Homo-oligomer: A and B are copies of this chain.
Amino acid sequence: MATVRRADALSRDRIVAAAIEMLDATGENGLTFRSLAAHLRTGPGAIYWHVANKDELLAAATDAVLNRGTPASEAGRSPQDAIRAIALTVYDAVEAHPWIGTQLVRLASQRVVFRVFERIGRQVQALGVAPGDQFNWASALLYYMTGVAAQNAGLAREADPALSRHDYFTSVTAALDPADFPFTSSVAAQLETHNDREQFLAGIDLLLAGITTLNDSR
């Protein structure tokens, strides 16, 4: 016999879903056990019956967001395209839920991170990379992805959300002395339209080009 529950009973899933909603709406700083409990029309203590602590809650929310939808099958495309697709999945998830960027770097979320690592690693193998390089190069791809994610999350958390990243970059660089920052200033001056997603992919392509080159020369 299944346990009888009130229709509005709490559950781990409902709590995680509500947490995601609040994180998306009010950012990382907007989620507290008190605000979450109020949202769920209960007391803060109730949440602890279903979730061990805030770290676990954030990890569960990250996990849920990254595993939404069916993971695109890697069949039928080149390993390079598969890696690009995996990378964009993560990128787009961070774009939609900036707070994940912070979580990917936390201990409680390492299970999710290893899932991405595994998918990347298989494609690195499919590229015919020598066994001795597989770990390093799969790691490089992952570090790059989490690096972008963490930066984006950091800015989303603290910068004015009304500012695009393009605006942000130009406003920060405008404060720099061009005499001390010739490269940054020259680059900022050229910058008309700057697409962050394309820039992210350019980095992935750089790593893929490196893998191809170094792999052939060994």
Contacts and interface: CB of A to CB of B under 8 A. Distances in A.
Interface of A: 105-108, 110, 114, 117-118, 121-122, 124-125, 131, 133-140, 142-148, 150-151, 153-155, 157-159, 172-173, 176, 180-184, 187, 190-191, 194, 199, 202-203, 205-214
Contacts of A173: 114
B143 A181 contact: no
Copies in the complex: 2
A210 B207 CA distance: 6
Contacts of A107: 154-155, 157-159
Query: DSSP majority for the A interface?
Result: helix
Contacts of A151: 105, 143, 146
Contact of A154 (B106, B131, B145, B187): B106
A114 B206 contact: no
A114 B158 contact: no
A173 B134 CA distance: 16
11 contacts: A107-B158, A108-B158, A118-B183, A124-B183, A135-B190, A139-B199, A140-B144, A142-B147, A146-B147, A206-B207, A210-B210
Nearest to A160: B107
Contact of A137 (B110, B134, B206, B211): B206
A211 B211 CA distance: 11
A191 B135 contact: yes
Contact of A114 (B108, B137, B184, B205): B184
A106 B28 CA distance: 14
> Which 3 pairs show the lowest CB-CB distances between chains A and B?
A147-B147, A140-B203, A121-B183
Contacts of A139: 199, 203
A167 to B, nearest CB: 14
Contacts of A210: 205-211, 213
A191 B142 CA distance: 18
